[in-house]
Amino acid sequence: FDVRVDGDLEVQRVAAIGYPGDKIGVVALDREGLVSCCCLVNGTFSPFIAPLENWTSMPLSMQAQIDVTGYARLLLAALRNAGHMLDR
């Protein structure tokens, strides 16, 4: 997935891609569009990632009607709490 994060003071976008073995690569872009954090996480973050994956798989017309900003903020908070965004 690749989603815009409105309301976060440091991150503008967050994206992720799944890898074999229950690994997920996450990239966060700052307000200037530069990479502010990248990390590899495990399945413990799945509850935060699943809603964003589901949204991405929807047709664009449905995506436009559903706000996933809250889910993106929850993912960022979980990453920060786990210490994955210390290089920001």
**Which is nearest to 79 in space by CA: 6, 7, 10?**
10
Domain encompassing residue 44: 2-81
What is the tally of structural domains in the chain?
Answer: 1
Asked if residue 88 belongs to a domain, the reply is no
Asked if residue 13 belongs to a domain, the reply is yes
46: left (phi over 0), alpha (psi -120 to 50) or beta: alpha
Asked if residue 23 belongs to a domain, the reply is yes
The confidence band for 75, taking pLDDT boundaries of 50, 70 and 90, is very high
Asked if residue 74 belongs to a domain, the reply is yes
Asked if residue 87 belongs to a domain, the reply is no
27: left (phi over 0), alpha (psi -120 to 50) or beta: beta
Beta-carbon neighbour count of residue 1 at 10 Å?
Answer: 20
Q: Which amino acid is at 80?
A: R
Asked if residue 72 belongs to a domain, the reply is yes
| pLDDT of 87 higher than 60 | no
| pLDDT of 21 higher than 80 | yes
Pair of tokens at residue 31: 């307000």
